[in-house]
Structure 1
Amino acid sequence: MTDEAGAVFALFDDCDSTALARSSRLYSGFSHERVCVDPAGLDAVCAAVADDARRGLHAVVLGDYEFGRDLQFGKRGGGALRFLLFAGCEMLSRDEADAWLASRDGGAAQPSAAGVAHVTKSIARDAFDAAIAAVHDALRAGDSYQINYTYRLHFDAFGAPLALYRRLRARQPVRYGALVALPGGAWVVSCSPELFVEKSGALLRARPMKGTAPRSDDPREDAAAARFLANDAKNRAENVMIVDLLRNDLARIARTGSVTVPALFSVEPYASVWQMTSTVEAGIVDGATFADVLRALFPCGSITGAPKHRTMQLIDAIETTPRGLYTGAIGWLDACADGGAPAARAAGAFAPERAAGAASGAASGGARAGEAAPEQAPKRASTASPAGACGDFCLSVAIRTLTLDAPSADGARRGSMGVGAGIVLDSVAADEYAECELKARFLTDADPGFQLFETMHAARDAGVRHLGRHLARLRVSADALGFAFDEAAAKRRIEARCAQLADGEHRCRVALAKDGALDITAAPLAPLAGDAVTVLLAHEHGFAPMRSGDFLLAHKTTRRADYDRAWKDAQARGAFDMLFFNERGELTEGGRTSVFVKLDGRWFTPPLSSGVLPGVMRGALLDDPAWQASERVMTLDDVLRADALMLTNALRGAVPARLVRAAEAAARR
């Protein structure tokens, strides 16, 4: 994939696609890219894309909000319109899309672990309130009727982007999902529920989305929320403002008298919210090009407010960070019907080997001329030439959309997602902030595919050894990964479970799910056979190095298959654990232990920056003045020349260890 193997591809994923009417699209065999950053060059770039289509290539479209803004003002700014050109386009049913995604994610029906952590907002709460006050000032001045105010969420992404998309689409199936592996290693992960505009034959259709209400787990409350949204005067007023804006925009490229509104105030269910949508249709004027459509419509009025031009100026003044692809457009563009390009190919029985082709080079096209004079989108098309007319297309509004950066050298990947709300004069800042957080739950509430856990030493009378440290570590991880966690309630439950234990030492395990559900189990703890244990080297027994950039190593999660296999393999070989090293050759930890190395009479343990779990017993020994232990980067040479080794965990405490090399281990077997 630049899917992790490097291929550029695009999947447009319709949850309603069937074997009888395939509407999902898989683009593969990347050829090149054309980019327009200057509105003055739009016609030239679109003409080049049309030529590509006549030669048999298929176009995927990614448009930044700022490019649409610049297009409306007729000046060059900071946004880009990108066309990715592919040799192949295959039509898939939903089942075939499911199978293709699974084939790229280890073949399992369930997605592999993936999610986001360390989520931060681009704006503080008091700054949000100040921004809404500025919006209200503009509304009172008559500069706008409604302003769509947005901000950004920034986060660390973990797991494969494709797996993250699988998890998000399972939570929120939509008709306009998109997964795009971009040249250079960046990704777009979109679960947009909103159609911007589509063209089928001579018909243009837009479905602006405006109006939100929270879902409920209680069926009666959920139904009541839907009824409230359908009849709420404020949401209806906001929706009809945008419908009128879209009617006006469509009229600029529509046949006279063809603009209609076949559906108004429809309410649709999604994972965490109800959304209100309406449908606007028009017949496209003869000879209109894709560039003409963009000049008339882009960006979508549902994510600006009304009137569009003045409101975009206000957005520039009030918002503090660029939107980028968020609230822009994502979609596909077919060749003109008479252009001679082959149609997208329907899938027969799905075959995983028909996957995305290898990436080739990337080329950038489009004029980079100076700024053009401002112009209004034409009522009539810029050309009536059949070769210049517009093929069918479908563009979504890029909401519920993540942009993931290419990974850094250590494998870490940053990402962002925008959220926002339509503000009118009677909007309350606290309510709009809550609506933004509700929309963000699409991402922040997604199950990553693992639990957090603590393994603790427990006894009936003594309770849990180092309970405070265990709970503190669990709290830090829950905060970082967005897990719900009631620390006080967890402490009470653990203490109650300890009171029920039989005599003797016990192994107590606490597992925390994403939604805050807590599971506590306990079993008698068998003593170790002897005062010391043996330890092996993981790389001598077929285990790969750890990646220091994997920040999940700092959290105790159930995503630890390599660690569990290592200590179990060690146990089968008569040892207690295996020691791991990272990609730089630095010592990290054991499969179930932290490690201390005595060098020249002093104890050292690897630093967290090497890719180490902050072990409970590790922390206790570092804080114990009697040990005088400290952190230090160490290599295999240090381990081999060590005065002594000590393995530690909360269950066993500190246990002396002797290193056994592979040859000796084999001889002992």
Structure 2
Amino acid sequence: MLVMTTRDALHVPYPASASSLDARTAHAAGRFVLLDDAGADAGVPRSRLYRGFRCELCAPQHGSMDDFDNAVDAALRAGQHAVVLADYEWGVQRALPGGQAPAHGGGDLRVWLFETCEHLDADAVSGWLRDCDRRVSAPDDLPDADSASQGSAPSVAGLLDCRADVSYEAFEHAMSAIREALEAGECYQINYTFRLHFATFGSPFGLYLRLRARQPAAYGALIGTLPGTGDEAAVGGSSGRPARWLMSFSPELFVRHVSGILLAQPMKGTAARGATPDADRAASDGLARCAKNRAENVMIVDLLRNDLGRVARTGSVRVPALFETQALPTVWQMTSTVEAALPPARGFAEVMTALFPCGSITGAPKRRAMALIDTLEASPRGLYTGAIGWLEAPADGRRCGDFCLSVAIRTLALEAPGAIVNAPLADARARPGRMGVGAGIVLDSEAGDEWRECLLKGRFLSGVAPGFALFETLALIDGTIRHRERHLARLGEAARRLGFVCDLAAVNAQIDAACASVARGTVHRLRVELAHDGGLTVRSGALAPLPGHPVDVFLAPDAFGTVPGDDPLLRFKTTRRARYDRAWQAAETQGGFDMLFRNARGDVTEGGRSNLFARIGGRWFTPPVADGLLPGVMRAVLLADPAWQASERSLSPDDLANAEALLVCNALRGAVPARLRPWPGVGGGSSLAP
């Protein structure tokens, strides 16, 4: 039975009354879909932006599709605009014998209906994305106002803690099971996939812009909630974990229909791009000639020819292009083209039933491969390897309108902020995310090669630059770096979690070279800065002594705002620190050393360039990292020193005012006695703007 829904858990029998539909769609009014052709020529409006969400039509998981087809057709003829989202498991459920449910649950074929669809060129898409990014990003995440790139640079956004949901040993075990099935003649090829899990920081628009620049795709998609339109609505999901945002950067066409012609372009066969033009050409030529990849590709071409033949005019299926190589930013892909003529009486639902899911992501024979995949994979695919695209109203007497669907590979699903459970990072502003990767397995496939191919396909995600660098500031005293091991350990851990390339041996070598250039008997600061791609910059400068002890510190006035304690990046020493630099520089104008920030609860967190300790009741306390601060090197030294007997607890401004003693610390200055002074003008009507 056809159902009309406005959310995963809400089902309304079709047709629903207009009044009930309006009430039930109110919470999802801000939902939008951008179908983004990032490779379109300038001035050519090939992207589509859908807004004004009305409702969702869900196809049945078994039985006749006639009611669904008729409902979609009626909505399109009434002037609504359709976006198609097909979960891989919807195709599995219809293919498995006897109505058997997939191991990880069923999926949906959904048609979302919208009031408007705007056709945009590349410049309009970029401008709209940047505008949304600026509207939703935290001020600390936006490019510096004085930067020449302010008008075009995305906000700070990226990933951390990226990991596979299967181990290499589990992957090998699955490969062994697949090999047994292949040797038994059950299949010729099986496409095995697994999920990468991660957390994201920054705005979804900023992340999409950064990934889009890295992987411009003809079949991109961004699905979420417009700024300023209320809470984020669910846009999909699996296993009770609804996605709030979907991002796809697919280079692969599933099937396109234009005026009676069906076109499919399966991708099968991958090779890494070369580091030089000659190496790149060699990689492309090698892929084109590779017997293994050609064999895999032709298997899928034959599969699609058979699928298309189920709905095509007899004798119309042909293969105009075979074994072409297509350049993507990180890989070469082998692509072939299959065409067929669609009879006028065939509808969209018939085409989907015959073709979905795409054979390039199942294996061959298709139904048996899908059944084996269902027993082997550790988690549901969801929209990954399903389809995303558009559908228009029928014309010219045809039952099926024009449509275009991608194979939803290189596709991310992001959950609501703060939904991370039992993860290394549990910050309220970090979003859990997942993306699938996979490989086509044939009889002569080697587990190590296929594992590396999967990781290669995920490189576009793990290699995205977040818009900042990591750095450490070290004290070089008489030729020796103080707390060197702690600095390098912190840098290495931050690089690992944030996906930075980091060669600690190279870092050590550059530090040694910098130390050798500085005269002994002096005190210098050494700044080591690590770019996302592993680039290193080491600078040194003389460190002037402090004018005296104790140093003065101030509580940051309201103009500086509060620190978002749930910001995951506060735990890392990054160049995203303009607010902090303004604070200690403002303190210096008043003869002070630093300015102390507070979080939204009013607890004191840290200074612009130092951590804080307060002695209360004869014991030293420092704010916990969870309150929103950088775990400084000197802070760690003091906490580990039994002589200090220091521990963590939240500190209020009253705690500081009544403390027996205060000190601030960093790796450059060590532990420095401090006194709290009022900020000039606070309470008197004046303040210093940051």
TM-score by shorter chain over 0.5: yes
Contact 1:411 1:547 in 2 (8 A): no
Q: Distance in 2 between matches of 1:239 and 1:584?
A: 59
- Per-residue CA deviation, residues 151-187 of structure 1 (Å, 9 max, x unaligned), is 1000001111111111111112111111111552611
Cα deviation, residue 567, structure 1: 2.1
SS of structure 1 residue aligned to 2:126: helix
After TM superposition, the structure 1 = structure 2 runs for residues 442-481 of structure 1, keeping only pairs within 5 Å, are 442-459=460-477, 461-481=478-498
Query: Are 1:8 and 2:38 an aligned pair?
Result: no
- Per-residue CA deviation, residues 593-623 of structure 1 (Å, 9 max, x unaligned), is 1111221121111112222211000000101
Contact 2:43 2:122 in 1 (8 A): no
- Per-residue CA deviation, residues 320-360 of structure 1 (Å, 9 max, x unaligned), is 1111111111111122237xxxxxxxxxxxxxxxxxxxxxx
SS of structure 2 residue aligned to 1:48: helix
Cα deviation, residue 40, structure 1: 3.9
Q: Distance in 2 between matches of 1:34 and 1:548?
A: 41
**Which of 93, 112, 121 is the aligned partner of 1:70?**
93
After TM superposition, the structure 1 = structure 2 runs for residues 587-626 of structure 1, keeping only pairs within 5 Å, are 587-626=604-643
Cα deviation, residue 267, structure 1: 0.1
Contact 2:344 2:400 in 1 (8 A): no
Counterparts in 2 of 1:17 and 1:593: CA distance versus 1, 3 Å: same
The amino acid across from 2:626 in the alignment is S
Contact 2:255 2:265 in 1 (8 A): yes
Q: Which residue of 2 aligns with 1:499?
A: 516
**Which of 240, 252, 269 is the aligned partner of 1:194?**
252
Contact 2:29 2:53 in 1 (8 A): no
The amino acid across from 1:400 in the alignment is R
Q: Distance in 2 between matches of 1:574 and 1:96?
A: 49
Q: Which residue of 2 aligns with 1:145?
A: 188
**Which of 206, 221, 230 is the aligned partner of 2:279?**
221
**Which of 104, 110, 120 is the aligned partner of 1:92?**
120
Cα deviation, residue 419, structure 1: 0.5
Query: Are 1:281 and 2:322 an aligned pair?
Result: no
- Per-residue CA deviation, residues 22-75 of structure 1 (Å, 9 max, x unaligned), is 211111222233344634475434433333323322111221111121122355
Q: Distance in 2 between matches of 1:201 and 1:231?
A: 35
Moved more, 206-215 or 658-667: 658-667
Q: Distance in 2 between matches of 1:325 and 1:574?
A: 58
Q: Which residue of 1 aligns with 2:601?
A: 584
Counterparts in 2 of 1:571 and 1:277: CA distance versus 1, 3 Å: same
Contact 2:201 2:429 in 1 (8 A): no
Q: Distance in 1 between matches of 2:54 and 2:404?
A: 21
Q: Which residue of 2 aligns with 1:184?
A: 233
- Per-residue CA deviation, residues 433-480 of structure 1 (Å, 9 max, x unaligned), is 111111111111111111110011113x34211111100100110111
Query: Are 1:557 and 2:574 an aligned pair?
Result: yes
The amino acid across from 1:651 in the alignment is L
Counterparts in 2 of 1:294 and 1:640: CA distance versus 1, 3 Å: farther
Q: Which residue of 1 aligns with 2:15?
A: none
Query: Are 1:104 and 2:147 an aligned pair?
Result: no
Q: Distance in 1 between matches of 2:78 and 2:563?
A: 46
Contact 1:547 1:583 in 2 (8 A): yes
The amino acid across from 1:391 in the alignment is G
Q: Distance in 2 between matches of 1:228 and 1:616?
A: 50
Q: Which residue of 2 aligns with 1:528?
A: 546
Cα deviation, residue 244, structure 1: 0.6
SS of structure 2 residue aligned to 1:277: strand
Q: Distance in 1 between matches of 2:687 and 2:578?
A: 26
Contact 2:35 2:219 in 1 (8 A): yes
Equivalenced residue count is: 615
- Per-residue CA deviation, residues 117-162 of structure 1 (Å, 9 max, x unaligned), is 1011111111111111111000000010000011100000111111
- Per-residue CA deviation, residues 91-120 of structure 1 (Å, 9 max, x unaligned), is 111122122222222363122221111011
Q: Distance in 2 between matches of 1:395 and 1:549?
A: 38
The amino acid across from 1:290 in the alignment is F
Q: For structure 1, list consecutive stretches of 5 or more residues without a partner in the other structure.
A: 339-385
Q: Which residue of 2 aligns with 1:406?
A: 416
Query: Are 1:117 and 2:187 an aligned pair?
Result: no
Q: Which residue of 2 aligns with 1:518?
A: 536
Counterparts in 2 of 1:657 and 1:319: CA distance versus 1, 3 Å: same
Q: Distance in 2 between matches of 1:154 and 1:412?
A: 13
Cα deviation, residue 257, structure 1: 1.4
Query: Are 1:266 and 2:324 an aligned pair?
Result: yes
Contact 2:273 2:283 in 1 (8 A): yes
Q: Which residue of 2 aligns with 1:32?
A: 55
Contact 1:192 1:400 in 2 (8 A): yes
Q: Which residue of 1 aligns with 2:456?
A: 438
Q: Distance in 2 between matches of 1:559 and 1:455?
A: 15
Contact 1:176 1:396 in 2 (8 A): yes
Q: Distance in 2 between matches of 1:431 and 1:108?
A: 43
Q: Distance in 2 between matches of 1:412 and 1:637?
A: 31
Counterparts in 2 of 1:277 and 1:407: CA distance versus 1, 3 Å: same
Q: Which residue of 1 aligns with 2:3?
A: none
Contact 1:541 1:662 in 2 (8 A): no
Contact 2:86 2:110 in 1 (8 A): yes
Moved more, 19-28 or 327-336: 19-28
Contact 1:259 1:282 in 2 (8 A): yes
Counterparts in 2 of 1:489 and 1:199: CA distance versus 1, 3 Å: same
Q: Distance in 2 between matches of 1:573 and 1:26?
A: 52
The amino acid across from 2:111 in the alignment is F
Contact 2:389 2:404 in 1 (8 A): yes
Q: CA RMSD in A?
A: 2.1
After TM superposition, the structure 1 = structure 2 runs for residues 621-636 of structure 1, keeping only pairs within 5 Å, are 621-636=638-653
The amino acid across from 1:48 in the alignment is A
Q: Which residue of 1 aligns with 2:172?
A: 129
Report percent identity of matched pairs.
Answer: 55
The amino acid across from 1:97 in the alignment is V
Query: Are 1:422 and 2:440 an aligned pair?
Result: yes
Q: Distance in 2 between matches of 1:47 and 1:572?
A: 72
TM-score w.r.t. length of structure 2: 0.86
Contact 1:200 1:392 in 2 (8 A): yes
Query: Are 1:314 and 2:314 an aligned pair?
Result: no
**Which of 300, 304, 309 is the aligned partner of 1:246?**
304
Counterparts in 2 of 1:513 and 1:41: CA distance versus 1, 3 Å: farther
Cα deviation, residue 20, structure 1: 5.0
Moved more, 269-278 or 29-38: 29-38
Q: Distance in 2 between matches of 1:500 and 1:85?
A: 67
Counterparts in 2 of 1:222 and 1:605: CA distance versus 1, 3 Å: same
Contact 2:559 2:687 in 1 (8 A): no
The amino acid across from 2:261 in the alignment is L
The amino acid across from 2:107 in the alignment is G
SS of structure 2 residue aligned to 1:104: helix
Q: Distance in 2 between matches of 1:664 and 1:624?
A: 39
The amino acid across from 2:407 in the alignment is V
Cα deviation, residue 239, structure 1: 0.3
Counterparts in 2 of 1:604 and 1:45: CA distance versus 1, 3 Å: farther
Q: Distance in 1 between matches of 2:216 and 2:195?
A: 23
Q: Which residue of 1 aligns with 2:527?
A: 509
Moved more, 48-57 or 438-447: 48-57
Cα deviation, residue 564, structure 1: 2.1
Counterparts in 2 of 1:654 and 1:23: CA distance versus 1, 3 Å: same
